[in-house]
Chain A
Amino acid sequence: MRITVTVDGTGYTDEVEPRTLLVHHLREKLGKTGTVVGCDTSNCGACTVHLNGQSVKSCSVLAVQADGCEVTTVEGLARDGQLHPVQQAFRDNHALQCGFCTPGMIMQSIDLLADNPDPDEEAVREGLEGNLCRCTGYQNIVRAVRDAAGHMRPGAGPEAEQVSDAERTTTGVGGDA
């Protein structure tokens, strides 16, 4: 099937097998290897991306379901060399060690802050329950998310990632189109 997906501001048109998962499309076809696969039962959340501004586990979405959609990955967060406040907070608070769960953690954290701009510890823990980390014990991740909340301007959530038409490029590299 032929699909067009906008990923981190770039449009890609490709032929995909109907069974292809979005995460495999991102990694193998588009070279967006910042998003990773940690399990095969949708438990770990390492593959979390935003689909039209909402967080999804990209192992649980077929690539064809993303046809016509806007996908934001961890690679698309920094703007003009400026880290997203959640990225910065993860660094400042030592919220990562091996870093494998980090792309998913960051994307899920942004989503939870969009719903609740000032979460307490319990709310952060509830919001990240579907993302597993084996290194940190979560304590610094929770701290980072609350720290980021303090640095994010009101209303800065996934909507802020929506790329305006002017910014969007139309031909992707690595696509079959």
Chain B
Amino acid sequence: MTAMAEPEVGRARVRKEDERLITGRTRWTDNIALPGLVHMAFLRSPTAHARITAIDTSAAKEMPGVIAVYTGDDLDPGGEVGMPNAWPITPDQKTPRRPMLAQGTVNFAGEAVAVVIARSAAEAEDALAEIDVDYDDLPVVLGVDDAVADGAPLVHEDMGTNTSAEWIFDSAEAGSGGDVQQAISSSEVVVTRRFRQQRLVPAFMEPRSVVVDPTAPQLTMWSATQVPHILKTMVAMTLGLPEHQVRVIAPDVGGGFGGKLAVTPEECAAVVVAQKLGKPVKWTESRSETMVSAHHGRDQMQDITISASRDGTITGLKVDLLADMGAYLGIVGGGVPVLGAFMFNAIYKIPAYRFSCTTVFTNTTLTDAYRGAGRPEATFAIERIMDELAAELGMDPMELREKNWIKHDEFPYTTVSTLTYDSGNYEAATAKAMQLFDYDGLRREQRERRERGDRVQLGIGISTFTEMCGLAPSRVLGSLDYGAGGWEHAAIRMLPTGKVEVVTGASPHGQGHETAWSQIVADQLGVGFDDIEILHGDTQSSHKGLDTYGSRSLTVGGIAVVKAAEKVIAKARKVAAHLMEASEDDLEFADGKFTVRGTDTSTAIQDVALAVFAAHDLPEGVEPTLDSEAVFDPENFSFPHGTHLCATEVDTETGRVRLRSYVCVDDIGKVINPLIVEGQMHGGLAQGVAQALFEEAVYDEFGTLTSGTFADYLVPSTMDLPSFTTDRTETAATSNPLGVKGVGEAGTIASTPAVVNAVVDAVRHHGVDDIEMPLSPMRVWRAVHKGDAAAGGPGAEAGGGLGSIDSAHGGAQ
């Protein structure tokens, strides 16, 4: 026996994807040019809520280069087409029709009203100015509290309410815990807080783009999407097209973060327009269009009550959410806050729990999935209120957590919200993080600064989080009324020359699947890393899949690849035994070779592939192919966890926050590629920090988005972020054969409360017990000097007032 090759899994391979990306040989949707291609531009409503009384497109049609101008009634005369909502969270959920182009009323500023098609994008844009729309203003509904108030004006008058649905989980009813009201009324300590999850913009760097070519019987759509497979099925269903005559391609896609988990009016309009004209059409949005028309994320008001005994043992947790859906429900829509329902109890043993969520319509851009989707909101609330409970009890916040978390020898553990956590070791991750962070040293410095009355105060923030990854076991999705399953597909093609093509239903847009999947297959089949090609994102080659979101690609899609490889080996074993005239039972497979046990007779899987291709000499009844496919449906979620520690310096005279150090120790199970994992952590942390300190989609009282550009919506730059210290512990997931858990959302979920806890901790001695996000210098200063926690008033404006919108011209006030 020769020595085993070094396993690929676990190696810090540089990425296969990078070569084309660093040399500009990219295939973004907007790069595509086809013969006869024409360009679309959308006219968008400047007003948040109005009746459309007239649209005059005659002047626009006379503009140079213009081929056609269409309104909603032109594209959909019957008013029947509505964008899909795949997750009706209750049977009686109210789901307003979201048309391709507004018909009758506009319900948010930015909603598309008409479309121009012209020979060039510039000519299409020029003609927009010549379309004349008469709007009759309606009252604008903003803010969930106002939207649900008695007598509030209605976003959709015909629905008779602004409430879409109310979803409740009660541990007493579910039999998973006690009655929360009873727990709260009989507890020694009760802490209640209202937290505000501000609205965020996913802000993927590549603006959305779609190209539709209708010139063959099978229509082809290229789209900058996370979900080509879902898009194919949904476009067919939404527009009544035969599904087999739709091909969707997601070429290189420049980030998504949930923001490209969508089936959009623009995509559907592009199909209808292309079919009307019989020509290929392209639409690429400007960033200003992205900001108002692509879905936003978060936006909840969270009323949280936690109860405990004096010794710090938690007795109950009650959560009431109002979640702002915007004007319509997106594809996941109300499901986002419902996902959070399972995560408020986090890593803690909570004996009684009740969660209720009301999804509410307002005259704003719709909200839907954004990195973490429901779980960051839940993690923020529980980790913030743990600090508040600790302060109330006079306990160290880490000691309080430790007292209540699930111990490493208590797994598997079924939580009060009915999930079964398969594995974890919160003690180990915390011990490592505390040591890397120098927790005790920083607490000492904090005391010294307080005693000295330093202008700059030090704060320490903790977030000990878990999340549910790998959406999802299909039966769980079914029990939550989700419209599809959570499986994933993979196929492996063994080519005659011994090279390997791997087809995956996951659809990467920056995650590095081509590299990670190659590493997995190299180990499974014993073939070279460079002999493997990963095919994805084209429904013609990758015909089956449920795409990439919810940290599912590896834990579901990667496992499907493993299952397909196992089938390849099983098929090859029969042929190898036949070729070597041995019994199948006597063969062992390692390092890409079948060896007859106890001999040095062996044959490589590549040789088997060639023999199968020739098919001259196969065992009786064996089909001449090694190609195999598998569909993997997980039995459970995976549960990454970690301990994040943040130290902030807060200048009490200016309100400025500086991140002094950030340490996180994450347990994401087995790691395929540590380089990619580290990158995912950094990027996730950046987005979580950004929610805590910088970003907010701000509307003025007319429903105009005032943070509508990158000058006003503060995506952090190099100067705004520190270097993070990231490390790992490794507790294998028991729910899949690789022991992997998922990493895409961990940093974002964990970091926001760590940062806010650190800032509040720095100024708690000034009587501050909350500051609403983002923690701009103005808000921190007001909290310290005026005792205001709320986000209203000065400092609430777009970009903290640094932006490009001139208040003299109707911008931020």
Query: Which A residues lie at the B interface, using CB under 8 A?
Result: 17, 19, 24, 27, 31-41, 43-44, 46, 73-75, 77-78, 83, 87, 90-92, 94, 96-103, 106, 121, 124-126, 128-142
Contact = CB atoms under 8 A, between A and B. Distances in A.
Nearest to B23: A78
A98 B23 contact: no
Interface stretch (B450-458, B716-724, B760-768): B716-724
Contacts of B442: none
Contacts of B24: 32-35, 73-75, 103
Given A100-B254, A129-B718, A40 B19 contact: no
Nearest to A43: B710
B683 A134 contact: yes
Nearest to B259: A134
B710 A98 contact: no
Contacts of B347: none
B53 interface: no
A87 B205 CA distance: 20
A34 B24 CA distance: 4
Closest 10 CB pairs of A and B: A34-B24, A98-B510, A100-B254, A99-B21, A137-B686, A137-B682, A43-B710, A39-B287, A97-B510, A75-B24
Contact of B709 (A37, A40, A103): A40
A174 B207 CA distance: 26
Given A38-B287, A137-B684, 17 more contacts: A33-B30, A35-B24, A36-B254, A87-B23, A90-B18, A91-B18, A94-B14, A96-B18, A96-B22, A100-B204, A128-B718, A129-B719, A131-B717, A133-B205, A134-B683, A137-B724, A139-B721
Given A97-B512, A98-B206, A91 B22 contact: yes
B724 A41 contact: no
Contacts of B22: 74, 83, 87, 90-91, 96, 99, 102, 106
A18 to B, nearest CB: 12
Interface in B773-787: none
B286 interface: yes
A129 B717 contact: yes
Interface stretch (B85-93, B563-571, B639-647, B671-679): B671-679
Chain B residues touching A, majority SS: loop
Nearest to A122: B719
B682 A125 contact: no
A74 B680 CA distance: 25
19 contacts: A19-B122, A32-B24, A33-B30, A37-B207, A40-B287, A44-B205, A73-B24, A75-B23, A91-B14, A97-B512, A98-B205, A99-B18, A99-B254, A103-B24, A128-B718, A132-B717, A134-B687, A140-B678, A140-B679
Nearest to A141: B718
B711 interface: yes
Interface residues of B, number: 55
A39 B710 contact: yes
Contacts of A41: 287-288, 709-711, 804
Interface of B: 14-15, 17-19, 21-26, 28, 30-31, 33, 122, 203-207, 252-255, 257, 286-288, 509-512, 675-676, 678-680, 682-687, 709-711, 715, 717-719, 721, 723-724, 804
Contacts of A43: 709-711
A16 to B, nearest CB: 11
A37 B30 CA distance: 10
Contacts of B682: 136-140
Contacts of B719: 125-126, 129
A155 B380 CA distance: 49
A121 B510 contact: no
Given A73-B24, A90-B22, A134-B683, A36 B709 contact: no
A4 B204 CA distance: 34
A105 to B, nearest CB: 10
Nearest to B284: A37
Contact of B28 (A44, A100, A126, A128): A100
Contacts of B26: 33-34, 36, 99
A38 B290 CA distance: 10
Contacts of A83: 22-23
A77 B710 CA distance: 29
Interface centre among B33, B254, B684, B709, by most chain A C-beta atoms within 10 angstroms, is B254
A91 to B, nearest CB: 4
A92 B511 CA distance: 16
Contact of B14 (A77, A92, A98, A99): A92
Contacts of A136: 679, 682-683, 686
B718 A125 contact: yes
Contact of B205 (A46, A78, A92, A129): A46
Contacts of B686: 136-138
B429 to A, nearest CB: 20
A139 B724 contact: yes
Contacts of A31: 33
A34 B25 contact: yes
Contacts of B252: 99
Given A43-B710, A137-B686, A100 B205 contact: yes
Contacts of B203: 134
B676 to A, nearest CB: 7
Given A40-B709, A83-B23, A91-B19, A137 B721 contact: yes
B206 A100 contact: yes
A121 B723 contact: yes
Contacts of B512: 97
A97 B709 contact: no
Contacts of A78: 23
B204 A134 contact: yes
Contacts of A138: 682, 686, 717-718, 721
Contact of A101 (B122, B205, B687): B205
B482 to A, nearest CB: 27
Nearest to B724: A139
A135 B683 CA distance: 5
A170 to B, nearest CB: 22
A24 B715 CA distance: 25
B204 A132 contact: no
A89 B645 CA distance: 30
Contacts of A132: 205, 710, 715, 717
B287 A36 contact: no
A136 B33 CA distance: 30
A40 B709 CA distance: 8
B255 A134 contact: yes
Interface centre among B22, B30, B509, by most chain A C-beta atoms within 10 angstroms, is B22
A94 B255 CA distance: 16
